[in-house]
Structure 1
Amino acid sequence: MVNQDDSFIREVNDELRSDQMKAVWTRFGGIIIGIAVLIVLGTVGKVGYDYWQEASSSQSGDTFLAALNLARENKSDEALAALTELEKDGYGSYPVLAQLRVATLQAQKGETDAAVAAFSGIGRDTRIPAALRDAARLRAAYLLIDAGTYEQVSSEVEQLAVPQNAMRHSAREALGLSAYKAGDYAKAKSWFQQIVDDAQSPRGIMNRAQMLLDVIASTGKA
């Protein structure tokens, strides 16, 4: 009798659990399926995005390398066309790299004004990583040493000539050279002295700064 009661109770409990599961499924089954579908779609989407990202990056990289090869073969116009297209349609960092390379080719072709404008534009674009912006400002400044004024050079790189900036050494050199070219030997001396006094200045930049300090001292003009 006891065994029959136990069996009956188990059957009742099984039925209750079954009814509860049916009730839960009736109420929440659609939501459960929806969540499962979203998880699957999310996984598929992530895999698809990763594939697209890798393919796009690879394609842009191939285009960039092809443009560099054209430039090395002195096919500047073809290289510029490929790089300009990459600026518009490239993936990841390649549009910025293309912009920098376009400006470099313009400088090599003697199109200094266009190159300065391009480098300066990159330097002001806050969407671009700071290190690339600073490098572009330096490129503009070095071109402006010959093609512009001290004020133009200063507007590009004086903000980089501070102790905490990794590119301060080159920025100070550009400022010193521009001041020297303009005949402002006191200002040139100040910038070159900052280079010499900075223990972290690269040896080449420090040697050039010391040489120009010696030249300025020999003239007695500062």
Structure 2
Amino acid sequence: MTELFSEIDDELRREKVQKVWSRYSGLIIAAAVVIIAAVGGWRGYQYLQAQKAAEAGAAFEAAAVLADQNKHAEAEAAFTKLAAAAPPGYRNLSRLRAAAEAVKRDPKEAVKLYDAIAADSGFSGVERDLARVRAAGLLLDTETYNNMLQRLEPAAAPEAAFRHTARELLALSAWRANDATAARKWLDVISEDGQTPSGLRSRAEALQALLPRVAKS
């Protein structure tokens, strides 16, 4: 008896499956096709992205070789071309490298390139700070202290990746402007930061020795 009931249940299940299939087979097949196409499309996209990254990496290395060979104009052109078409990671690196190569050709143009990077939210905070510092380094001998402060203050903040260089540039700019108060302020910040590199600390101490002594009250 138990076997009979089991056979009846199996037959009923088969009938239900057949009814469902006859009614919804088109939808089931369409859904399966969509899923297969989506998976295939995603894998194809991943393959193309990996291929683009590999091509961009090779092009970046070739441009870097040109720079190492002091072929700066060719290197700048190669990095600029790569920045226009490469995936985001290589695009950002290429723009930074193109600006660095432009320094040899036209420092003012390089400053513009760095400023554009510093203002671009598509770059990370570290990359933008690097652009700020490099542009300020090119302007140290010509820019006013107030303008340097406006440029570098974000990069000089605690925990900023390039704060040590930014603070040194601000101290030098203030000293060049005969602003002893501002120079002393940044030199003190440098000396009080326990992570200040030893070389920079020594330069800061030497510059501090050149400042006029503060009158005792």
1:195 aligned residue: 190
**Native 8 Å contact 1:57 1:91 kept in 2:** yes
Equivalent residues, number: 215
Paired residue for 2:112, among 111, 117, 133?
A: 117
Distance 2:198 2:6 in 1: 88
Relative distance call for 1:166 and 1:72 in structure 2 (3 A) is closer
Which string of whole-angstrom CA distances, capped at 9 and with x for unpartnered residues, describes residues 128-187 of structure 1? 111111111111111111232222221211122222423222211111111111221221
Contiguous gaps of at least 5 residues in structure 2: none
1:137 aligned residue: 132
Quote how far apart the aligned CAs of 1:11 are: 5.4
1:127 aligned residue: 122
Distance 1:91 1:100 in 2: 14
**Native 8 Å contact 1:84 1:102 kept in 2:** yes
Distance 1:143 1:221 in 2: 31
Tell which structure's C-alpha radius of gyration is larger: 1
**Native 8 Å contact 2:99 2:110 kept in 1:** yes
1:148 aligned residue: 143
1:181 and 2:176 equivalent? yes
1:56 and 2:49 equivalent? no
Quote how far apart the aligned CAs of 1:12 are: 4.4
Distance 1:132 1:166 in 2: 9
Distance 1:14 1:193 in 2: 86
1:86 aligned residue: 82
Contiguous gaps of at least 5 residues in structure 1: none
Aligned partner of residue 147 in structure 1, secondary structure: coil
Percent identity, aligned pairs only, is: 37
Quote how far apart the aligned CAs of 1:85 are: 0.9
Which string of whole-angstrom CA distances, capped at 9 and with x for unpartnered residues, describes residues 50-103 of structure 1? 211111011111111111111222222222221111111111311111111111
Quote how far apart the aligned CAs of 1:27 are: 2.6
CA RMSD, Structure 1 to Structure 2 (Å): 2.1
Higher deviation after alignment, 180-189 or 25-34: 25-34
